[in-house]
Structure 1
Amino acid sequence: MDGLKGKTSVYVLSDSVGETADLVARAAISQFESSDTTTIRVPYVDDKTIVDEVIEKVINANGLIVFTIVLPEIRHYLLDQCSQRDVPVYDVLSPLLHMLEEKIDAPPKNETGLLYTLDEDYFKKVEAIEFAVKYDDGRDPRGILRADVVLVGVSRTSKTPLSQYLAHKRLKVANVPLVPEVDPPEELYSIPPERVIGLKINPEKLNGVRVERLKALGLKEQANYATFERIEEELSYAQSIMNKIGCTVIDVSERAVEETANLIYQSVHKK
């Protein structure tokens, strides 16, 4: 297109937020060196008047249109007007919709914004993620009383990543580190033990994890944090607390975070 040889504008139209079409346009523009090309997003195009206004601007700017409009009436009108006025236009979705329609043998819904529907499930996930951040690492023991599940264990047993992973499964998770010098919060003993999951790990594995952590922080490997004597002390203390609570205990020594998270998720739902 001649317009892309110099300065031009790509008008991105959508009957939703327009993010998909905008990403496609930007991806294409990035392939042209020193191209002085801008994108102008026009979301929620659900009226022919808006289409007419945009086409006038495109003509004046010597630009082009990229769109993801699924409403048939608006889409057809836009294509018809662009054809009549010789405005370059690119339909992002229709070719793929037609291909899928043939393969699936069913018509598309032609509903706007389905990709970004903010339903109840979405808000539950956001709430769970915020909960996991707020009640991470024993910051506020009040979270223990509100949590769907509470993770307990010594440092470096993946409590935080597990909390976040489970949050994406809509579970509100609090986690509490078990340290010999600090008594665990009383709230741990006031909730049903089935809501608590203990995480244990073998000393050799924990030593390796902690040594790598110290290296990443630029500290000496010989620090007390990673010695077997300290590790054995912490693991013994943590086991005594878990026994006192009477909670389920999962060995994370040879398990990926995803595997452990699935075990916890199944355990919580089963009970």
Structure 2
Amino acid sequence: MIQQKILPSSPRLVAAPTSPTNLLPKRSSSPSRLPKQDEAADSTGDQTSGSTSPRISPKASPNLTRWSRARALRSGRGLSLRIKTPSSPVGDITPSLSSDSSDSEEDTAVTPRADGKPIYMVSDGTGWTAEHSVNTALGQFENWLVDRGCPIHPQLFSGVGDADRLIEIIKQAAKEGALVLYTLADPSMAESAKQACKLWGVPSTDILGPTIEAIAAHIGVAPSGIPRGAPGRNPLTEDYFKRIEAIEFTIKQDDGALPQNLNRAHIVLVGVSRTGKTPLSIYLAQKGYKVANVPIVVGVDSPKSLFDINQEKIFGLTINPAALQTIRKARTKTLGLKGGMMSNYSDMEHVREELEFAKKIFARNPVWPVIEITGKAIEETAAVIVRIYHDRKKKRFLPHISKRY
């Protein structure tokens, strides 16, 4: 005789809600509606699972190598091949706390996305903190996400400034079975998110709250509770204008332009073509650093001013030959270049020759730190450069095994 295992009922169906009244969804007048729905789902599950259940497809492009998929993932860029689903995106939902009895069944049914497990990032500001925190955390699951495709579908909701929209997002998260990660500077909004997620059984984590509380306790000052970019905050600070100046300078100094201005740069990047000098320069400029980049070309002398400036501000960039060839082939295909001057641009022999030429220049200038960028996101390379830059300014000891980073 087979003993039937009785599963405990869902806490969402029996627990009495203790949340504020503005967070409570409208309940149907019939209390037995949800159990009946569950029974109907159980009775029809065997019939529909084989024919109508969507097959989850990986979100990784087969044209990308493992290192490039990892780099794209950790940079926060999508890897294409998304599968369109009939369900509408949360951003198109009209905020409404009321629902009639006819759609109560739809609100409780979980409809997972076909393009991966959803993660909702909710912010009352720009969403930068939430997005980068999640991307950093996803880097810890790189072997699974990259080697076996990307079963994660992150979605950012920024500028969530009222409880109505917050509730609608959380209700949709419950419907899709999403994880909710939020950075809400307003304490009342953060508490509303916590209570609403608890009420609808949505797994959630407050990314920003514990850090704010720890800092407040440490310095003995209460936080303002005003999100970044709110009308009550003035963005036109001195740092703002410094960033604008740095960006303008960096754009003018791209690809070896105006070498006479190298002495005005905080950081100078040197490397062969397609080692990421320009995007790295722009990223650093957004942090307030004036950056110039100088290309290394076989048979072309570097500008004299490069060797006349403070050598401690110069950083070399290098990359694996196979990775560089892949990037150059993609670049050549994008530009539609065939033959001519670019005929050997992506040839392995030419790639190795350029990297060897750059290696000799780096060897003649041992003060330059040489950073290996293969498989690294821009943020990772920038973090290494900024650390070395400030350590040198403060004359700190730099413990390292070799000059390669």
Q: Is the 8 A contact 2:260 2:305 kept in 1?
A: yes
Equivalent residue, structure 1, for 2:381: 260
Equivalent residue, structure 2, for 1:124: 242
Q: Distance in 2 between matches of 1:243 and 1:227?
A: 24
1:191-249 CA-partner distances (Å, limit 9, x unpaired): 22221000011211111110011111122498210111211221111112222232110
Report the residue type matching 1:192 in the other structure: N
Q: Distance in 2 between matches of 1:229 and 1:262?
A: 32
Report the residue type matching 1:196 in the other structure: I
For 1:249, which of 359, 362, 370 is the aligned residue? 370
Q: Distance in 1 between matches of 2:346 and 2:223?
A: 61
Name the CA shift for 1:136/1:93 in 2 (closer, same or farther; >3 Å): same
State, as a whole percentage, how many aligned pairs show the same letter.
45
For 1:207, which of 322, 325, 329 is the aligned residue? 325
1:28-83 CA-partner distances (Å, limit 9, x unpaired): 9x97xxxxxxxxxxxxxxxxxxxxxxxxxxxxxxxxxxxxxxxxxxxxxxxxxxxx
1:127-181 CA-partner distances (Å, limit 9, x unpaired): 1111110101001102211111100000000000000111122111100000013
Question: Of Structure 1 and Structure 2, which has the larger fraction of its residues in strand?
Answer: 1
Structure 2: which 5+ residue stretches go unaligned? 1-90, 95-160, 165-183, 192-208, 217-221, 393-405
Look up the SS of the partner of 2:374 in the other structure: coil
Counterparts of residues 1-271 of structure 1 (less than 5 Å): 99=188, 113-220=231-338, 223-246=343-366, 247-271=368-392
Q: Distance in 2 between matches of 1:237 and 1:262?
A: 26
Name the CA shift for 1:175/1:114 in 2 (closer, same or farther; >3 Å): farther
Name the CA shift for 1:242/1:98 in 2 (closer, same or farther; >3 Å): closer
State the Cα distance separating 1:99 from its structure 2 match.
2.8
Question: Of Structure 1 and Structure 2, which has the larger fraction of its residues in helix?
Answer: 1
Q: Distance in 1 between matches of 2:299 and 2:224?
A: 62
Q: Is the 8 A contact 2:263 2:310 kept in 1?
A: no
Q: Distance in 2 between matches of 1:159 and 1:192?
A: 19
Name the CA shift for 1:107/1:173 in 2 (closer, same or farther; >3 Å): closer
Name the CA shift for 1:199/1:171 in 2 (closer, same or farther; >3 Å): same
Equivalent residue, structure 2, for 1:10: none
User: TM-score, normalised to structure 1's length?
Assistant: 0.59
User: TM-score, normalised to structure 2's length?
Assistant: 0.40
Larger Rg: 1
Look up the SS of the partner of 1:226 in the other structure: coil
Number of residue pairs matched by the alignment: 183
Q: Distance in 2 between matches of 1:198 and 1:114?
A: 43
Report the residue type matching 1:204 in the other structure: A
Report the residue type matching 1:119 in the other structure: T
